[in-house]
Structures are given as structure tokens and as C-alpha cells.
Homo-oligomer: A and B are copies of this chain.
Amino acid sequence: MPNKSYHHGDLKAELIRTGLKLLDQEGYEAFSLRKVAKACNVSQTAPYRHFKNKDELIIAIAMEAMGAFNECLQKAVDQHPDNPKKQLTEMGIAYIHFFVENPEYLRLLFLSDMRYKMNEYFCAHPEYFQNDHPFQTFFQTIERYKAAVPSSNQSLGKAELMLFSWGLVHGISILIANKEIPLEGDYLSMVRKIVESEKFLD
């Protein structure tokens, strides 16, 4: 039953929710403020009462997506509380799995122009960055691993290991999600082989 009152009640939340759905359905480039407004049965300019401009709405949507992504990583980590190495590999696999199954999230979070604007936003709001940002989850997992297996990859410091493992799963996610690389068969088993490859861990 549509709320026919002049005031909507919770437009801000519905804009984010509807926006995420539209972004998922129609892609980043086709995304338009007016469409979101229309989908919420509200005038073109109503969103401006809740967001300074289009970018800020997209950033809010991206925050939602970032949270979901981070939860996914954290869950993988939490399933192996006493095994830092397995935490790292399972988190890596979860990373790839999440983005291959949700390619639109990948574009929103990392592959669109929004990425640059979000970086600015994070600089302006460091408190967010320090809490449940995937970067932190990744970094902490690396630190636990390095602490638990001090002999590991002696030639690579913490920063290099971070760049190595993050870069690896990030790149693989994109290559698969964007169909950059022709793959036959089950990508997940390939990914597991790679990520667990003893050649790069331990």
C-alpha cells in the first residue's frame, strides 16, 4: 500500500535501497538520480533533501555494499579462529567468490569513477576507514598470519605481503568477473588451488 501522504517517512533509506537495486539491474552508467526518484514515487528533486548530489547518494549506496563485502570477508575469517594461515586463504577465496557472484558490487566499489570520490570521502571521514573497512580486515589477517608464521616469506615484508595477497585476489576477481580471461570449468577450484599454492604461502 503506497503511502500517499505528502511526506514520505523514510525516503533516505528507500533511495539507498532502490538505488542499489537499480545499480545492480541496469549497471553503473545507466544509473540516474531521476530514475531512482521515480522508482520511489517521488519527484526528481526530492533526493536533494537527503543527499547533496548524485555522488553522495552513490557513495551512500557504496557504503552499504562495502559493509556487505566486509561482512563476507569477516565471516570467512571467523570460521577459522585458530588458524591464521587458513584465515588468509579462506578470506582470499571469499573475496574472489563475492565479487564473481556480485560483479556489480565490484564495479561500484572498485571499478567506477566513484572509487576516486570514495577515497576522498574516506580521507574526510577517517573514522569509517578505521572500523569495518575491508582494507582493515585484510591487513589484520595478514598481521596475524605474519605473527603466527614468522618464517614465512622472509624476503617479503608486511607491506609487500599485503600488496601481494591483496593484489592477487583483487586481480583474479576482476579477470574472472569481467570475463577478461576465458575459463573452462569450475573457477572456484582453480582459485582454491592458486590461493592455497604452497609456492606463495609459507
Using known A-B contacts A170-B174, A175-B170, A199-B200, determine if residue A163 contacts B194 with beta carbons closer than 8 Å.
yes
Interface string of A14-49 (1 = CB under 8 A from B): 000000000000011100000000000000000000
* Complexed CA–CA distance, A91 and B193 (Å): 24
Q: Are B29 and A113 in contact (CB under 8 A)?
A: yes
B164 and A194: CB pair below 8 A? Answer: yes
A4-12, A72-80, A154-162 - interface stretch: A154-162
Interface residues on A, range: 35 or more
Which of B119, B156, B173, B190 makes the CB contact (< 8 A) with A193?
A: B156
Most central of A115, A155, A175, A199 by chain B CB within 10 Å:
A199
State whether A194 and B160 are in contact (beta carbons under 8 Å apart), knowing that A113-B29, A170-B171 are contacts in the complex: yes
Q: Counting chain B CB atoms within 10 Å of each CB, which of A113, A159, A171, A200 scores highest? A: A171
Chain A residues 107 to 127 lying within 8 A of chain B, measured CB to CB, are 107, 110-113, 115-116, 119
8 Å CB interface, A150-202 against B: 153, 155-156, 159-160, 162-164, 166-176, 178-181, 183-184, 190-191, 193-194, 197-201
Residues in chain A within 8 A of chain B (CB atoms): 27-29, 107, 110-113, 115-116, 119, 135, 153, 155-156, 159-160, 162-164, 166-176, 178-181, 183-184, 190-191, 193-194, 197-201
9 sampled A-B residue pairs with Cβ under 8 A: A119-B180, A163-B181, A166-B181, A167-B171, A167-B172, A167-B174, A171-B174, A197-B200, A199-B200
Known pairs A153-B199, A164-B168; list 10 more (Cβ under 8 Å): A119-B179, A135-B180, A155-B193, A155-B198, A155-B199, A160-B193, A167-B174, A168-B171, A169-B171, A171-B171
Query: Which 8 A-B pairs have CB atoms at the shortest separation, nearest pair first?
Result: A171-B171, A167-B171, A167-B172, A170-B171, A29-B113, A200-B200, A111-B111, A168-B168
